[in-house]
A and B are shown apart, each in its own frame.
Chain A
Amino acid sequence: MKLRLLSLLGLPAALLAKGTPGPVEAKLAALEAAAKAAQSAGDNGWMLVSSALVLMMTGPGLALFYGGLVRKKNVLGTMMQSFILMALITVLWAVAGYSLTFGEGSVFLGDLRYLFLEGVGGAPNADYAATIPQQTFMIYQLMFAIITPALICGAFAERMKFSAMLLFMALWALIVYFPMAHMVWGKGGLLNAFLGGKLPCFDFAGGTVVHVTSGVSALVCALHLGRRRGFPSDAMKPHSMVLSFIGACLLWVGWFGFNAGSALAASSLATSAFVATHFGAASAAIGWLVIEWLRTGKPSVLGGISGAVAGLVAITPASGFVKPFPALIIGFSAGIVCYLMCAVVKNKFGYDDSLDAFGVHGAGGSLGALLTGVFATNAVNDALKDSAGKPVALGLVDGNPGQVLNQAIGVVIAWVLAAVGTLIILKICDAVLGLRVEAENETEGLDLSQHGEEGYILEA
């Protein structure tokens, strides 16, 4: 084993055979250090790639996906909403966001030990990821904090002031995201199943933290801002399905970094999450297309890509806990449920969740979190051990039906925190800046009214 490892590391076998004079312990220590360094290099490589993949989901992925779905007078404004969060949240994260999320504070929020990223460097933080620099962990988690608020932009598309959106997002990160992420992933967080949470909830890559919070907040935004002018009588067709198609496919690819990267190592668990992610997306695309084809007579491209995204959302909390076949089931049900949310429920209630952030992320995230409680198995993830060192039963399929209830509690907490937090933030932003653009600016479009530019100048 050690010999093989050494040759893997590229160390000359002769070194071991002849050896340098000295105690055996010194040699063993050197070997151990070399093995650790090799593992760290592999894990760190994968995690840096994953970090980049998750950033790619926001820009260009989500920016294209959402940008194509709006009318052409709002394409830049919509893309800018995703893009500016790449900058805004990064600064917040560096100042206090990382600390408030991953500092070991109360059960609800982290403390300020990592303020200005103090002490976050090349050494690993063994509580979270023992084989990679804490700085890698920090930058990886930042990418989640960026895409989560960006998802909300789908709900208030084509009508929110840029200034109000900036204030909203900064407050939302502070009041909703950092606390929720701390509760689920932070050491000592209320829902953290692996680091001493009182209500163990399984959320591998952010079903509750990312999708339920953003989706529910999106619904509150849609209700509070009101419908776009002319909705639903005017045609508000996507101006470029081609952009949306490219965006959705980039999301699919980036999601491998999101879910498989959440293993925080280049491990077999990462492979398992990668496979589950892919299977979930594929079967959800089919699920959405099947029900759409049956109901409207045509399988649409937007249906296919929306289904894939819905499946990716639903598999997110489950990805590191379920086998491939349950991943297909989770995906397929997400395709059906999210289709019904967007095409039936939304029309019934008449709210203008313009790009279906709630219908896809809120509904898909909640469904995925609950199904994680059903299909989670220690055959995939054996990180949780009992006192005798045996892996504990995880979900219903392992004989632990109570986990479904735990998952439901986690979902409810995410719903309440997101709904209440978002409502308060909207009231503040409305009082300070006003949420919506003026009627004439809405007609003119966000591109010109907010940014003084046009997306397409074809005669130029």
Chain B
Amino acid sequence: MKKIEAIIQPFKLDEVKEALKGIGIDGMTITEVRGHGRQKGHKEVYRGQEYNVDLLPKVKLELVVPGGRLNDVIKTLTAAARTGKIGDGKVFIYDVADAIRIRNDDRGEAAL
């Protein structure tokens, strides 16, 4: 099992969700986060006072998939989230030791 953690542009969330649904991925967790990578922030000016806003709003999407589906999911996700411009975000992949469905104690991939 792999956990995919993708940080994407907020306005791409719906497209990504639809694309993942299209390949049968139903579960995911979304968080509104702020951050930046190489993308520098923007400048705001209030009555001549300049503020550099370098932490920009992003959406963090977390999902756990069976190992065999990983490449498939990554391909779909990145294609849907991509604009080709700086600031599109990143994807991180982790190994997952186990998973448990709280309702009935299903374990492992059966719990996904």
Binding site for B on A (CB under 8 A): 232, 235-238, 292, 296, 298, 300, 302-303, 306, 339, 342-344, 346-347, 356, 359
Contact = CB atoms under 8 A, between A and B. Distances in A.
Interface in B34-66: 44-49, 51, 53
A237 B47 contact: no
Nearest to B51: A235
Nearest to A360: B47
Contacts of B48: 292, 296, 339, 342-344, 346-347
B47 A303 contact: yes
B45 A296 contact: yes
Contact of A343 (B44, B47, B51, B53): B47
A343 B46 CA distance: 9
B63 to A, nearest CB: 26
Contacts of A343: 47-49
Given A303-B47, A343-B48, 19 more contacts: A232-B49, A235-B51, A235-B53, A236-B49, A237-B51, A238-B46, A292-B48, A296-B48, A300-B45, A300-B46, A306-B47, A339-B47, A339-B48, A342-B47, A342-B48, A343-B47, A343-B49, A344-B48, A356-B47
A338 B45 CA distance: 16
A134 to B, nearest CB: 42
Contacts of A292: 48
Contact of A302 (B46, B51, B53): B46
Query: Residue among B46, B48, B49, B51 with the most chain A CB within 10 A?
Result: B48
B45 A237 contact: no
Contacts of B47: 302-303, 306, 339, 342-343, 356, 359
Query: Residue among B45, B49, B51 with the most chain A CB within 10 A?
Result: B49
18 contacts: A232-B49, A235-B51, A236-B49, A237-B44, A237-B51, A292-B48, A296-B45, A298-B45, A300-B45, A300-B46, A302-B47, A303-B47, A339-B47, A342-B47, A342-B48, A343-B48, A343-B49, A347-B48
Nearest to B53: A235
Contacts of A300: 45-46
B51 to A, nearest CB: 5
B23 to A, nearest CB: 35
A237 B44 CA distance: 9
A359 B49 CA distance: 13
Q: Which 5 A-B pairs have the closest CB atoms?
A: A343-B48, A342-B47, A235-B51, A296-B45, A302-B46
A236 B47 CA distance: 12
Contact of B46 (A237, A346, A347): A237
Interface in B55-99: none
A300 B51 CA distance: 14
Nearest to A288: B47
B35 to A, nearest CB: 16
B12 to A, nearest CB: 26
A344 B49 CA distance: 9
Nearest to A69: B46
Query: Residue among B45, B47, B51 with the most chain A CB within 10 A?
Result: B47
A298 B49 CA distance: 13
Contacts of B46: 237-238, 300, 302
A303 B44 CA distance: 12
A263 B8 CA distance: 61
Contacts of A303: 47
A81 B51 CA distance: 27
Contacts of A342: 47-48
Interface in B14-49: 44-49
Nearest to A340: B48
Contacts of B49: 232, 236, 343, 347
A83 to B, nearest CB: 24
A76 B51 CA distance: 24
Nearest to B50: A296
B54 to A, nearest CB: 11
Nearest to A343: B48
A356 B51 CA distance: 17
Contacts of B51: 235, 237
A321 to B, nearest CB: 30
A331 B45 CA distance: 23
A59 B8 CA distance: 43
A344 B44 CA distance: 16
A292 B47 CA distance: 8
Contacts of A359: 47
A306 B47 CA distance: 8
A339 B45 CA distance: 13
Nearest to A300: B45
